[in-house]
Amino acid sequence: MPYQIQSQCAACKKSDSFLIGNWPEHLGVYVCQKCQALVNIPVSDGKCPSCGHAPQLSELYDYSFAVPYLGGSFPGQLEPGPICPKCHQKPLTFMNTAHLNMGMVVWDPQKARNTWGRQYLEKAIFINSTVPVIKEFQLDAAKLFTYFNLDAPTPPFITSRMSFPMILDIRTHVFTAVLDRNPSALGSSLSPEELTAKFIGRAKAQQRQPVAQPKPQQEHRPQKQKQWWEFWK
């Protein structure tokens, strides 16, 4: 995790860069009208780093269905972003430009624990994105939460959305960092062989996923069973 994201405006061609997924450090992404920019709001003071404005938690931008994986892939059609805060002409689109080490999220338990009891968008999207991974690898959710130093969310939930790039990253991380050697550490009832087969099978399926294309208008294909990455359907 996290990923570095760059916004793009087809009208003024200007862009901003921000991170997604670094929930121990960020409350979320905010479209600051005063700064005319997309910024990360720090957990530490809740203020825009440039102008000092402290947005309401409900004003943060839910980027879940607007930000693709590296290379632009996304299992469906991307949602348009917010209207460009610089020129107010067009909705932004997003490019996923870099993958940063998940260590930023998992190697500082104290920083993560300092957020316990607080619910906010960046943490909510991360938590939601663990769900398909928990299901696929048949993990014990409580053990996975302990691994990531997460506190369990309580209703009302801030968002029900998940982030596709985040799901992929959580999935790869828990498999390579833990499950590959010790499936029971996260409470999986599957054998190492079963886990590996699932991991590799899906990795192959993902490679076959084309870059997101608009769907044709009429589709008469028989109803298929939902795959884990079709979470938004």
Residue ranges in contact with Zn ion by CB under 5 A: 9, 11-12, 32, 34-35, 48, 50-51, 84, 86-87
Nearer to Zn ion, 28 or 132 (CB): 28
Nearest approach in angstroms of CB 42 to Zn ion is 12
CB 100 within 8 A of CB 199: no
Nearest approach in angstroms of CB 175 to Zn ion is 39
Nearest approach in angstroms of CB 201 to Zn ion is 42
Nearer to Zn ion, 78 or 87 (CB): 87
Nearest approach in angstroms of CB 163 to Zn ion is 24
Residue type, 182: N
CB atoms within 10 A of CB 41: 27
**83 strand-pairing partners:** 91
CB atoms within 10 A of CB 108: 14
Nearest approach in angstroms of CB 226 to Zn ion is 37
Nearer to Zn ion, 50 or 182 (CB): 50
Q: Determine the 3-state secondary structure of 128 from DSSP.
A: helix
Task: Measure the CA–CA gap between 186 and 63, rounded to whole angstroms.
Answer: 29
Nearer to Zn ion, 51 or 205 (CB): 51
Segment holding 97, helix H or strand E: strand 93-99
41 phi and psi angles, rounded to 5 deg: -95, 120
CA atoms within 13 A on the CB side of 180: 9
Nearest approach in angstroms of CB 48 to Zn ion is 3
Nearer to Zn ion, 35 or 124 (CB): 35
Nearer to Zn ion, 34 or 135 (CB): 34
| R_g over Cα of the chain | 18
Which tokens is 68 given? 């693709």
Task: Measure the CA–CA gap between 201 and 198, rounded to whole angstroms.
Answer: 5
